[in-house]
């Protein structure tokens, strides 16, 4: 038995192996060594950006080449502030949605009306409270290969039983699947901790003062997911643990329409559910990280232990894509 398939289901793409991708920079006008990579673009997206430029009175994007002769795209030199970039991405996203493009990603109920912050670097030199390079609609990020951020909380008892929710059957994505106790995206303007506090109340009715007292920030996991239709989703999840003490009068309960119910499950029940594919894939991945950190998955019982650990903390090939 191995948990590696759970990792490979989420972390299934290596951009260095795909020579067709264009590099999406903030600007092509800056010196090559100072260019800031914010995303990766499939050829069909580049073609649509060329078409979008042709429809605009003044082109919003520059199309050129990187120092390694890869196709490269950047905002026009006049689109040089976060507000201007955000306005371009907003207009572009709405136009594509209204034209019926990429309905499997941005159409109908999939559109969230929720803004994500886009960072000039996914890892270095920024804090969650620093101003972003721009903001854009959450679901459009996958069309631009933008790194997105979320938060996950695992609630458990001192004897390691887990509070596992079942996603509502009306959810836009993964309806009816099992989930982490609390999970959600990180909207623009919120820190990871702000986000998990908000989600804890909205999804599990967990009082803020209780969460603040007992929650532990325990790191992050990363993975690069390519959807079945080849959209690109590099993701970072900030991870939190919360052990509910014996005697505490706290039971997670649905608060909004995103969660159907909660069930208290043993470690073995959670493992079986993960291996059987009953969990939303990235939630199973976060639970693998939990089981490693708490000693349930070890080098002695998992033949792919080191592969799993390194894959849980990848860097999306970001350091090498524009060299």
Total domains, the chain:
2
203/108 same-domain check: no
pLDDT at 256: 79
pLDDT at 3: 98
Distance CA 114, CA 135 (A): 10
**pLDDT tens, position by position, 35-58:** 899 999 999 999 999 999 999 889
The CATH number linked to 96 is 3.30.750.160
DSSP one-letter code for 284: H
Please give the span between the terminal C-alpha atoms of the chain, in angstroms, as a whole number: 39
**pLDDT tens, position by position, 199-226:** 999 999 999 999 999 999 999 999 999 9
157/133 same-domain check: no
119/244 same-domain check: no
What does the DSSP assignment read for 119-141? -SSSSSS--TTSPPSEEEEGGGG
Pick from 151, 153, 134: which is nearest to 252 by CA? Answer: 153
The CATH number linked to 285 is 3.90.79.10
Phi, psi angles (nearest 5°) of residue 51: -65, -40
**pLDDT beyond 90 at 125:** no
CB 235 within 8 A of CB 149: yes
Whole-prediction pTM? 0.95
108/43 same-domain check: yes
Domain stops at, among 116, 143, 170: 143
- CA distances, 17 to each of 93, 97, 121, 128, 231 (Å): 28, 30, 21, 30, 15
Other CB atoms within 10 A of residue 177 CB: 19
130/222 same-domain check: no
Domain stops at, among 101, 123, 143: 143
81/163 same-domain check: no
pLDDT at 122: 87
Q: What are the helix and strand counts (H, E) for the chain?
A: 10, 12
Half-sphere exposure of 51 (CA within 13 A, CB side): 9
Helix, strand, or coil (residue 68):
coil
285/195 same-domain check: yes
pLDDT at 48: 97
213/268 same-domain check: yes
pLDDT at 155: 98
**pLDDT tens, position by position, 86-114:** 999 999 999 999 999 999 999 999 999 99
Q: Are strands 232-243 and 215-226 parallel, antiparallel or unpaired?
A: antiparallel
pLDDT at 277: 97
pLDDT-derived band at 323 (thresholds 50, 70, 90) equals low
171/100 same-domain check: no
pLDDT at 65: 87
Q: Are strands 71-75 and 61-65 parallel, antiparallel or unpaired?
A: antiparallel
pLDDT at 60: 96
pLDDT at 68: 77
DSSP one-letter code for 256: S
pLDDT at 66: 82
pLDDT-derived band at 173 (thresholds 50, 70, 90) equals confident
Domain stops at, among 143, 178, 209: 143
103/172 same-domain check: no
179/233 same-domain check: yes
CB 233 within 8 A of CB 142: yes
Distance CA 272, CA 286 (A): 15
**pLDDT tens, position by position, 129-151:** 778 999 999 999 999 999 999 99
Q: Which domain holds residue 95?
A: 19-143
191/317 same-domain check: yes
Pick from 136, 125, 145: which is nearest to 44 by CA? Answer: 145
**pLDDT tens, position by position, 181-197:** 999 999 999 999 999 99
**pLDDT beyond 80 at 16:** yes
Span 14-18, average pLDDT: 93
Q: Are strands 61-65 and 37-41 parallel, antiparallel or unpaired?
A: unpaired
């Amino acid at each position: 038995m191995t948990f590696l398939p759970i990792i490979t289901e989420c972390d299934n793409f290596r951009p260095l192996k795909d020579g067709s991708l264009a590099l999406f920079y903030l600007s092509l006008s800056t010196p090559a060594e100072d260019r800031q990579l914010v995303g990766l673009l499939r050829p069909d997206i580049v073609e649509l950006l060329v078409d979008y430029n042709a429809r605009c009175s003044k082109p919003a994007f520059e199309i050129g080449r990187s120092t390694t002769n890869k196709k490269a795209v950047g905002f026009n030199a006049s689109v040089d502030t976060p507000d201007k970039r955000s306005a371009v991405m907003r207009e572009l996203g709405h136009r594509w949605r209204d034209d019926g493009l990429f309905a499997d990603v941005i159409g109908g109920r999939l559109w969230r009306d929720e803004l994500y912050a886009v960072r000039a670097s996914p890892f270095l030199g920024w804090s969650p409270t620093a101003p972003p390079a721009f903001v854009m609609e959450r679901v459009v990020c996958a069309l631009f290969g933008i790194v997105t951020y979320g938060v996950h909380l695992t609630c458990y008892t001192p004897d390691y039983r887990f509070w596992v929710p079942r996603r509502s059957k009306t959810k836009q994505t993964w309806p009816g699947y099992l989930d982490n106790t609390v999970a959600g995206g990180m909207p623009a303007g919120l820190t990871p901790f702000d986000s998990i506090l908000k989600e804890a109340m909205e999804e599990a009715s967990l009082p803020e003062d209780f969460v603040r007292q007992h929650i532990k920030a325990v790191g992050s996991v990363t993975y690069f997911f390519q959807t079945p239709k080849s959209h690109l989703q590099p993701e970072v999840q900030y991870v939190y643990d919360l052990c509910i003490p014996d005697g505490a009068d706290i039971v997670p309960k649905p608060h909004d329409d995103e969660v159907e119910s909660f069930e208290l499950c043993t470690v073995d029940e959670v493992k079986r559910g993960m291996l059987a594919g009953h969990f939303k894939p990235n939630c199973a991945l976060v639970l693998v990280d939990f089981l490693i950190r708490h000693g349930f998955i070890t080098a002695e019982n998992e033949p792919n232990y080191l592969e799993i650990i390194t894959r849980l903390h990848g860097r999306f090939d970001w350091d090498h894509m524009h060299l």
